[in-house]
């Protein structure tokens, strides 16, 4: 007797992805963010790239439930190069046209990578490292005397035109200055933690509200549980999310739908 084929829980998304949710506030695609047909669907000249790609460290967590290794976390993907595709091409002199990718002089937040890794590929005119203080110590390497209690977030201003970058464009006005340490407790209840890297919505909302205005489009090509989408919708922004794992893409839909319903109730109140 032959063994029945194992159920493939890691079904790859179809070429071009599949739109699971589309409203005037949010688009959620189950897809591979390296797929040019998926990238082509993001509206041009969007307002913010806020993302948390796999870290390339083969992180495996048993916290809360049995998560397997995060897709794309095996160190074989050049994530800064993938994000460069989401930023769009180097600027040309055709000003006024809506170029593919992030609009000129708009902001970027990337969790887990250094500004040295990101400044060139994402063409950042100015950047700074922010620290997310998780207000608790994680597991990490138990043989070391220090446990990880923070994560880095690279902030940068994307400048499309090389000549402007070379001139030092992209410096922010001092009135926008805030401290670079952001203290937000990590979601820590095993029932609330639905994804091993789930970010707290208030942390992501702080980033989004610091760098966009209401109605702007926030893009996250590695959406995970959808915290970026929830934060964007609750802040009156729009979101465009892509997630590779079907289970997590469906979780994004569930959470973003709930955020949309809440935003509508608040607007009607």
Ligand X SMILES: C[S@@+](CC[C@H](N)C(=O)[O-])C[C@H]1O[C@@H](n2cnc3c(N)ncnc32)[C@H](O)[C@@H]1O
Between residue 165 and residue 224, which ones bind ligand X under the rule CB under 6 A?
195, 197-199, 221-222, 224
How far are the Cα atoms of 30, 53, 117, 144, 165 from residue 224, in angstroms, in the given order? 11, 9, 22, 29, 32
Among 20, 32, 86, 159, binds ligand X (CB under 6 A): 32
Stretch that binds ligand X, among 1-9, 31-39, 177-185, 258-266 (CB under 6 A): 31-39
The secondary element (H helix, E strand) that includes residue 267 is: helix 246-268
Does 17 contact ligand X by CB under 6 A?
Answer: no
Does 227 contact ligand X by CB under 6 A?
Answer: yes
Taken in order 253, 257, 263, 267, is the CA torsion positive or negative?
A: positive
Does 151 contact ligand X by CB under 6 A?
Answer: no
Stretch that binds ligand X, among 26-34, 124-132, 156-164, 261-269 (CB under 6 A): 26-34
Does 86 contact ligand X by CB under 6 A?
Answer: no
C-alpha of 202 from chain center: 14
Tell me the sheet residues that pair with 158.
124
Does 34 contact ligand X by CB under 6 A?
Answer: yes
Tell me the sheet residues that pair with 32.
none
3-class DSSP assignment, residue 120: helix
Q: Which residues contact 77 (CB under 8 A, 6 or more apart)?
A: 34, 54, 56
Q: How far is the CB of 150 from ligand X (least distance, A)?
A: 15
Q: How far is the CB of 195 from ligand X (least distance, A)?
A: 4
Task: List residues near ligand X by CB under 6 A.
Answer: 32-34, 52-54, 70-72, 195, 197-199, 221-222, 224-225, 227, 242-245, 248
């Amino acid at each position: 007797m032959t063994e029945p084929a194992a159920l493939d829980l890691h079904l790859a998304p179809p070429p071009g992805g599949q739109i699971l949710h589309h409203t005037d506030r949010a688009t959620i695609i189950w897809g591979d963010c390296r797929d040019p047909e998926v990238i082509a669907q993001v509206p041009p000249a969007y307002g913010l790239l806020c993302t948390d790609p796999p870290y390339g460290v083969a992180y495996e967590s048993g916290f809360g439930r049995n998560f397997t290794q995060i897709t794309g976390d095996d160190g074989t993907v050049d994530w800064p190069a993938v994000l460069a595709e989401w930023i769009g091409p180097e600027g040309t002199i055709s000003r006024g046209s809506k170029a593919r990718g992030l609009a000129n002089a708009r902001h970027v937040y990337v969790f887990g990578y250094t500004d040295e890794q990101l400044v060139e590929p994402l063409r950042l005119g100015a950047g700074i490292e922010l620290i997310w203080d998780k207000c608790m110590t994680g597991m990490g390497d138990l043989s070391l005397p220090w446990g990880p209690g923070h994560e880095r977030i690279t902030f940068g201003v994307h400048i499309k035109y090389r000549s402007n970058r070379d001139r030092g464009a992209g410096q922010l006005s001092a009135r926008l200055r805030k401290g670079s340490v952001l203290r937000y407790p990590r979601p820590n209840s095993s029932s609330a933690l639905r994804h091993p890297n789930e970010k707290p919505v208030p942390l992501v909302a702080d980033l989004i509200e610091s760098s966009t205005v209401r109605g702007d489009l926030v893009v996250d090509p590695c959406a995970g549980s959808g915290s970026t989408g929830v934060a964007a919708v609750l802040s009156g922004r729009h979101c465009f999310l892509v997630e590779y794992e079907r289970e997590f893409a469906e979780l994004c839909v569930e959470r973003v739908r709930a955020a949309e319903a809440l935003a509508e109730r608040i607007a009607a109140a």
